[in-house]
Chain A
Amino acid sequence: MLSIIRTMWITFMHMFHKRETVQYPEQKNKLSTRWRGRIVLTRDPDMGERCVGCYLCAAACPVDCISLQAAEDEHGRRYPEFFRINFSRCIFCGYCEEACPTYAIQLIPDFEMGEYNRQNLVYEKHELLINGQGKYPGYNYYNIAGLAIKGKGKGEAENEEPPVDVKSLLP
């Protein structure tokens, strides 16, 4: 009997406690920087696309929501001809971000992407591309990789030495 009255008293005193509710649309929760939300495609510092169309994200995606077609421009740089993410399938697992070798695909702290029409949840490349570098500023894949493109030959990348002449025996 006493414990019942005590329970009621404790419950009653909760009247004077702070409410835990976050009044969502007016008052927003702070999302952590590693929040896995909307997927974006980032650009390198020279505003070129980072994506090289390697298909690793599409292969890693457990729900097959990413589809793309790789192409190559006149400089020898690869880029996706189209890049499509179906967000009505996406489970925001972040495996695509982990798989990406060039930091192109990234998940950002934004989840407010509700739509009345399901078809609008299929994002095309122009909707995914942002004019920024995302979480890895200063990174440019082609400046680091040893791959030769137009305007940058073999051995001209950062921290790279000129290729060894294998035809010669001299040191």
Chain B
Amino acid sequence: MDSEVTDRLLIIAGVLAGLLIVAPGLIWLERRLLALWQDRYGPNRAGPFGVLIVLADTIKLFFKEDWIPPFADKFVFVIAPGIVAATVLLSFVVIPFAPGVMVSDLNIGILFFLAMSSLGAYSIILGGWASNNKYALLGAMRGAAQMISYEVFMGLSLMGVVIMAGSLSLNTIVEAQRSMWFVVPQFVGFVIFFIAGIAETHRLPFDIPEAESEIIAGFHSEYSGMKFGLFFVGEYLGIILISSVVVCLYFGGWLGPAFLPPLVWFIIKTFGFICLFILLRASLPRPRYDQLMEYGWKILLPLTLVNLLVTAAIVLSMKGT
């Protein structure tokens, strides 16, 4: 009993440490990859291949003036950046990194993940509202609208997987993919979930809440220092989260040929999706706000429903025979 508790604590500490090391590292990775795809070098001075730029950035953020605007709602302004990091970190509770390496095998894993990522929207809304700044408010409103509308079919799109696996637990879903990855029968669901995932992390090309060229920095216009840093880390944690959820749901999680340990397979697959996120940022322009809404409600939502119906019908008919 006692050793089980320490094991659990070790896993929690390991996951937390791993994520908090990888998330800032992604800043470096993203800048280097963007540079690579834009025929530049990116940060390459500090340390080997410039990795120490992360350290320099962190130190810079810590020593910057941490300014709270006098017109802001101080309490909400201070807690808002914490919410995004906390909710995303909480979502990792249900991710199976490898057999046994999982903080908690909840039987409502996917539901928990969806709930936590919805709570992340509060960070944007509260941050934008508490800033008491019109651009921040505009960004927050856009963020709220975007996250609510994309959450609808984010949940619906992965119901296909849930129907096929017959469980909401991510561990069971991964186990159910031993014969075939769900990306093959659920390709439409995968594409829609991935698009919704990008919108959920409000990454480019769906960074409507930030939209530097239109509304300065959107909901975090007024943030500086480490509070801004927390928003940033939250965004990168969100990328890792969506990538690992996609891997778990559609690409067999830690399953893979036996010559590499399961954890390594999981990391390789997740890393591939993180790179895809960055490639999307490097290549696609930002859609207009109304285009985003139209695309979501008029195209993706009906597609998701059709996908769900067809999947359910096929599974039912196969069970019936």
Q: Which residues of A contact B (CB under 8 A)?
A: 4, 7-8, 10-12, 14-15, 17-21, 23
Q: Nearest residue in B to A7 (C-beta to C-beta)?
A: B283
Q: List 22 A-B contacts (CB under 8 A).
A: A4-B284, A7-B283, A7-B284, A8-B279, A8-B284, A11-B37, A11-B283, A12-B37, A12-B283, A14-B36, A14-B39, A15-B36, A15-B37, A18-B39, A19-B39, A19-B40, A19-B41, A20-B40, A21-B39, A21-B40, A21-B41, A23-B41
Q: In the complex the two chains form, what is the Cα distance from A21 to B39 in whole Å?
A: 8
Supposing A4-B284, A7-B284 touch, asked if A14 and B38 sit within 8 A by C-beta, the answer is yes
B116 at interface (Cβ–Cβ under 8 A)?
no
Q: In the complex the two chains form, what is the Cα distance from A14 to B279 in whole Å?
A: 11
Q: Nearest residue in B to A25 (C-beta to C-beta)?
A: B45
B280 at interface (Cβ–Cβ under 8 A)?
yes
Q: List residues of B (66-88) whose CB comes within 8 Å of A's CBs.
A: none
State whether B284 touches A20 (Cβ < 8 A): no
Q: Which of B38, B40, B283 contacts A8 (CB 8 A)?
A: B283
B215 at interface (Cβ–Cβ under 8 A)?
no
Give chain B residues whose Cβ lies under 8 Å from the Cβ of A7: 283-284
State whether A17 touches B41 (Cβ < 8 A): no
Q: Nearest residue in B to A20 (C-beta to C-beta)?
A: B39
B282 at interface (Cβ–Cβ under 8 A)?
yes
Give chain A residues whose Cβ lies under 8 Å from the Cβ of B283: 7-8, 10-12
Give chain B residues whose Cβ lies under 8 Å from the Cβ of A23: 41
Q: Nearest residue in B to A19 (C-beta to C-beta)?
A: B39
Q: List residues of B (262-283) whose CB comes within 8 Å of A's CBs.
A: 279-280, 282-283
State whether B280 touches A17 (Cβ < 8 A): no
Q: List residues of B (41-75) whose CB comes within 8 Å of A's CBs.
A: 41
Q: In the complex the two chains form, what is the Cα distance from A60 to B164 in whole Å?
A: 82
Q: In the complex the two chains form, what is the Cα distance from A100 to B40 in whole Å?
A: 42
Q: In the complex the two chains form, what is the Cα distance from A4 to B39 in whole Å?
A: 20
Give chain A residues whose Cβ lies under 8 Å from the Cβ of B279: 8, 11-12
B110–chain A nearest beta-carbon distance, Å: 27
Q: In the complex the two chains form, what is the Cα distance from A8 to B39 in whole Å?
A: 15
Q: Nearest residue in B to A10 (C-beta to C-beta)?
A: B283
B297–chain A nearest beta-carbon distance, Å: 18
Q: Nearest residue in A to B42 (C-beta to C-beta)?
A: A21
Q: In the complex the two chains form, what is the Cα distance from A6 to B33 in whole Å?
A: 19
Give chain B residues whose Cβ lies under 8 Å from the Cβ of A15: 36-37
Interface-central residue, A4, A20, A21, A23, by most chain B CB under 10 Å? A21
B204–chain A nearest beta-carbon distance, Å: 12
The 4 A-B residue pairs with the shortest CB-CB distance, nearest first, are: A11-B283, A8-B283, A7-B283, A21-B41
Q: List residues of B (236-288) whose CB comes within 8 Å of A's CBs.
A: 279-280, 282-284
Q: Nearest residue in B to A5 (C-beta to C-beta)?
A: B283
Q: In the complex the two chains form, what is the Cα distance from A37 to B36 in whole Å?
A: 32
Please name 14 further chain A to chain B contacts, defined as beta carbons within 8 Å, in addition to the given A11-B37, A14-B37, A23-B41, sorted by A numbering.
Answer: A4-B284, A8-B280, A8-B283, A10-B283, A11-B282, A12-B283, A14-B36, A14-B39, A15-B36, A15-B37, A18-B39, A19-B39, A20-B39, A20-B40
Q: Nearest residue in B to A18 (C-beta to C-beta)?
A: B39
Give chain A residues whose Cβ lies under 8 Å from the Cβ of B39: 14, 17-21
Q: Nearest residue in A to B34 (C-beta to C-beta)?
A: A11
A25–chain B nearest beta-carbon distance, Å: 10
A14–chain B nearest beta-carbon distance, Å: 5
A5–chain B nearest beta-carbon distance, Å: 10
Q: Nearest residue in A to B280 (C-beta to C-beta)?
A: A8
A24–chain B nearest beta-carbon distance, Å: 11
B40–chain A nearest beta-carbon distance, Å: 5
Give chain A residues whose Cβ lies under 8 Å from the Cβ of B37: 11-12, 14-15
